[in-house]
Amino acid sequence: MPHKDEKGIDVESVTSRRQDVLIVEKQFHTFAEPPGELVLESGAKLGPVTIAYETYGTLNAAKDNAILIAHAFSGDSHVAGRYPADREGEKPGWWDFMVGPGKGIDTDKYFVICPNILGSCMGSTGPASLNPATGKPYGLGFPMMTIGDMVTTQKILVDALGIRRLHGVIGGSVGGMQVLEWCVRFPDIIRCAVPIATTMRHSALAIAFNEIARQAIMADPKWNKGEYYSGAKPGMGLAVARMIGHVTYLSDKAMHRKFGRRLQDKETFSFGFDGDFQVESYLRHQGNKFVNRFDANSVLYITKAADYFDVVDRMGRSGPLHENGGQKIKYLVVSYSSDWLYPTYQAKELVQTLKRSGQDVSFCEIEADCGHDAFLIPDERLTTLIGGFFDGLA
């Protein structure tokens, strides 16, 4: 059984093994109770705040073997393993091939923490949470938050766990943005950082796709200016938003290989709008799945936070900001050759910025035709790369 510190926070993971399967339970940390609300970057106050998280492995006596994993925009804290109540055939955590005993992020060596981001709907406080002032869901009354605010809540959680130094922070996509924000806000406690398939700030193209997704949601009559929790969800708008996003996560080659122009369960065109092609059926399926698991308002807030994100100037500063007790953070920047949402040239800009400020940085572009989501697909090259990087600093 896990033991707790004086604040009642678990300092060992709530995990066990069942027939070589990692079993994990979701945990929660609540803070910022009024009148001590959390002050966000916008100046707004929010409290209480709950952050859902999961932990794996055991925190060592020195409390310096912790690795924080930051998830992508629609992800959650369930990074690996299975829940006790999972039925046979249910999928494990979203990075199960990477995290676990003997894997790239080895839970026999490291204490892994994966928090759910602020503004999400997967256990952490967000627009769907109850506003204590009204007793109703926040909706658009939820204050706008930033990537920086997400990281601030994660730092509060890390502090509550009694951890004063992180062996590493790692994440892909929006998770990679959180990694970079960690490095500019709290460089003194981070030993190494692995931003994957990410950027220092959104391009106009990335902002444009996010805006189209937001408009799709807000154009749905059932969205009702964010006040839909007591009635029907804006399912059509949310599904279209997910379809738009999903296209940016793939690549031309991946879509050609997976779908081509093949028809779905028919031999000829319908000469209508029912969806003739496999790719149409696939996108509709992805959209409908998303409606069943995610909150439309959370999409609005998280995509806007990603659009606001910009650490170009802060990553470029030299001097004590990036010093870690006299030792600089070691970076491993990873990109994918077919990622057109956050192309390799943006990763190289990050590498150049870090090098100009004297940082210790390594870079790897992985050849893969799967597009932006390649980091979520099992790949021994990525597993070996990350495992070697973390273990080389152990």
3.65.10.10, 3.30.830.10, 3.30.70.20, 3.40.50.1820: CATH of 15-202+309-392:
3.40.50.1820
- The confidence score (pLDDT) of residue 181 equals 98
DSSP letters for 31-83: E--TTSPEEPTTS-EE-SEEEEEEEESB--TTS--EEEEE--TT--S--SSB-
Tokens 């031309």 identify what position? 252
Tokens 């893969």 identify what position? 368
What are the extents of the domains in the chain? 15-202+309-392, 206-303
Catalytically active residues, by annotation: 173, 339, 372
Q: Are 278 and 103 within 8 A, CB to CB?
A: no
Specify the fold of 206-303: Rna Polymerase Sigma Factor; Chain: A (1.10.1740)
Terminal-residue alpha carbon distance, the chain: 26
Distance CA 2, CA 194 (A): 28
The Cα-based distances of 113 to 116, 118, 326 in angstroms read 10, 15, 26
Amino acid at 61: A
- Containing H/E element for 2? none
Q: Are 377 and 370 within 8 A, CB to CB?
A: yes
- The confidence score (pLDDT) of residue 54 equals 98
- The confidence score (pLDDT) of residue 6 equals 40
Q: Are 5 and 162 within 8 A, CB to CB?
A: yes
pLDDT along the chain (394 residues), means of 10: 44 51 93 97 98 97 97 97 90 96 97 98 98 97 98 98 97 98 96 98 98 98 98 97 97 95 92 92 96 97 98 72 62 98 98 93 97 97 97 84
List of long-range contacts for 360-363, beta carbons under 8 Å, 24+ apart: 360/328, 360/329, 360/330, 360/331, 361/330, 361/331, 361/332, 361/333, 362/330, 362/331, 362/332, 362/333, 362/389, 363/332, 363/333, 363/334, 363/335
Residues paired with 363 in a beta bridge: 333
- The confidence score (pLDDT) of residue 274 equals 85
Q: Which two tokens stand for residue 34?
A: 């009024």
